[in-house]
Structure 1
Amino acid sequence: MSSGPWGTISPGPLGPDGRSRAPEGAECFEELFARAHGLLEALRPLGGRTACVTHGGLTRAVLASALQIPLTSFWRLRLPNVSSQVLACDGTSYTLVAIGLAPEEVRRRAEDPSLLGRDTTENIAEGSVK
């Protein structure tokens, strides 16, 4: 699997302007956060459910933006690969409902709407996240 231009560099110091430096053809973290914020703003007025399928970097940026976590804490959001996160929006602000859901848990919640509002710390059914 290729990481594109990011796969050839190591984390380094900030540029002279205080922003992160991205390899040619890639976006820096500030641009990633701006994109995530724009997505959340576009989703804010929508009703119903929306699914977004993306890579872990953008998922972290969306969660950080929704929860007002600063860019400096970006890597503190540990997310399992192939996991789902659930945010709820009241039209004004976002709330984290669930994090790190396995695909099986997402399917179970989709099949049983009574489980949608439950968080990942609740034992909602046999074999669920504990």
Structure 2
Amino acid sequence: MTTALVVVDPAKRTVVTFTLKGDPWPTIASWAQQHRYLPRDPQTGATKLFQKGSGLFTAPMRAQFTQRGKEIELQAWVHVPLLTRIMSLFLLPQEMSVRSGGFRAMVPRAIARKAVNELLAQVGAEPIP
């Protein structure tokens, strides 16, 4: 099996790297359950993807965790479904970073940022601005 490193566009996904001692998955699973993030595929090996929401009332919020040695890479973003993009005349991109700033998808980005910042505070990492 090979591992490919892909450069992530910061406008599409917020990437944070932090270190956890011991097994990180119980801490991450507890956080996901507390904030109603449900597991999605892929859930194999060192990568776990979680999603909050279905896109009915707000855009789905996603958080992907990848373990690389002692470091955990967190990618957080808001996924905008095709129907929502059509209704917005494609003003909304398919993926949006959870960082603050701008008015597009402001509510789901703020909800996702708040949840992710709670996890980052729990592990002693810098919050997402």
* TM-score (structure 1 length as normaliser): 0.29
> Which is helix-richer, 1 or 2?
1
> Which is strand-richer, 1 or 2?
2
